[in-house]
Structure 1
């Protein structure tokens, strides 16, 4: 992997995090006005169309993309992702972008903690210390003993746990299926599941909000495209630390557009979580080297 490709991969990851942060802002607005299930359903219609379009252009077409040796696992991880998106978008409506992303930033630590029991990977004591530091950061954000604990703050934590399990299952199926196959199952199964649920919660949408919805769908497809290009150019271990920029971009969006604020405990807890996450990624890269 050349240094030039790595730099290009990092640039694509930065662009991806910005696009996904914008997508979160659009989701926050639309889910505040309409039912979360309907918003995610329409988003998945466009996502599935994008996935099918990509699959049909590759050798073997959709038949090759759908071929898998672990269909139940692929279906479960697709359902897990769509459920996580619904939970996280619901979290945006309860807590806003800043605090939701501050808690959600712990998902790499959850992946590290669960990689042992789920995948049988070895987690050394240094990474366990980092995981402990990260969860201490979560406690600082949640303030469970301050008398002002919000039960709503657990929502993005549940989303982080679901996304961590999704990430581990993606690793698992990645040993057996191609990335194109996993991508195909993620989009198509998610679309079917959300249509079965979201159709019952349909609400009329205003003209301006349809424009925002179309933009949400475009950012969803564009973000996945730039993420694919990112991983084509650089190793995951080289670009993954830059994924934390989504927290930065989403927080800026929350402050400037939605008039959110960053409380001191949220800032301190987020610093601990991100520092622990970056250390965990560095240790993982060292151990592979």
Structure 2
């Protein structure tokens, strides 16, 4: 049993948010030069190898890591996440890191909204109000009816919906499967699925870009390792709010590396979405403490 250390867990989550932002910057650069499916396929090769290596070192080895009671749901989880990554990287190319992440930040609200019909969880009026306010924030970002709406902005919204479904399915299988089992299926299913699709889009990569590809692969594996450690050291409700730091980190990288700009409506809308998301996380924690 790992000893709890909330402060260290929070700092690890901050590091995870920064590495995720770097990972997205590398993905944006590479996907602007090469086919998205090929880039994600190579990334999943490294991630799948990392998952298998981690599982092999633990007691019980690969057999225990693959021992799920819900194989079909685990496979569906892996497929949904792989597809979501492809959609989100496409959003980076179409919109840039700043605006794509501003829209994607709505995913915790989608999880809260769907937790009732999917998982049978009770969502009170306070969280429903926060969800409604959060979607007002999304409308502010999208700015429909003002001549600046981009149909491409629906791409990160689709990615957020897919990631919310993945999160809900993760909680669903977590009722009977351990986190290690879900982690194993996530990496291996994604690697197999992306190979089946991405191998048809293989194209030569410049030597310099293989350095960026290597950095992307290392970030992908290292960020997931730190994320596991963060959840081992502290409760999810304590560290999850700090995952929102990925938004300002990605915005800063987008502005510094890709000359992106932060439009006023995007900044205001993102602040509304993040505020509503943080409230839903806080409210969920209060409800859980009351139940205890």
Aligned to 1:37: 37
| Cα deviations by residue, 1:218-239 (Å, 9 ceiling, x for unpaired) | 0000000100110010000000
Aligned to 1:133: 133
Give the superposition deviation at 1:67.
0.5
| Cα deviations by residue, 1:4-26 (Å, 9 ceiling, x for unpaired) | 70000000000001001000000
Aligned to 2:160: 160
* Distance in 1, Cα, partners of 2:18 & 2:92: 17
SS at match of 1:91: helix
Give the superposition deviation at 1:3.
10
**Any stretches of 5+ residues in structure 2 without a counterpart?**
none
Structure 1 runs of 4+ with >6 Å offset: 1-4
1:105-124 to 2 correspondences below 5 Å? 105-124=105-124
* Distance in 2, Cα, partners of 1:45 & 1:157: 27
* Distance in 1, Cα, partners of 2:280 & 2:145: 28
* Distance in 1, Cα, partners of 2:237 & 2:217: 28
SS at match of 2:171: helix
* Distance in 2, Cα, partners of 1:262 & 1:194: 33
Give the superposition deviation at 1:149.
1.2
TM (norm. structure 1) is 0.99
Aligned to 1:206: 206
SS at match of 1:177: coil
* Distance in 1, Cα, partners of 2:131 & 2:26: 31
Aligned to 1:246: 246
Aligned to 1:177: 177
Please tell me the root mean square deviation across aligned C-alpha atoms, in Å: 1.2
Give the superposition deviation at 1:143.
1.0
* Distance in 1, Cα, partners of 2:124 & 2:89: 34
| Cα deviations by residue, 1:31-80 (Å, 9 ceiling, x for unpaired) | 00000000000000000000000000011100000001100000001000
Give the superposition deviation at 1:241.
0.4
SS at match of 1:139: helix
Give the superposition deviation at 1:2.
11
| Cα deviations by residue, 1:138-195 (Å, 9 ceiling, x for unpaired) | 0010011112211000000000000000000000000110000000000000000000
The reply to whether residue 101 of structure 1 matches residue 101 of structure 2 is yes
244-253 or 1-10, which deviates more: 1-10
Aligned to 1:228: 228
SS at match of 1:33: coil
* Distance in 1, Cα, partners of 2:213 & 2:148: 35
Alpha-carbon contact 2:4-2:234 (below 8 Å) kept: no
Aligned to 1:78: 78
Aligned to 1:20: 20
* Distance in 1, Cα, partners of 2:186 & 2:106: 23
Alpha-carbon contact 2:4-2:232 (below 8 Å) kept: no
SS at match of 1:114: helix
Aligned to 2:88: 88
Give the number of aligned pairs.
289
* Distance in 2, Cα, partners of 1:130 & 1:7: 27
**Any stretches of 5+ residues in structure 1 without a counterpart?**
none
SS at match of 2:32: helix
* Distance in 1, Cα, partners of 2:21 & 2:2: 29
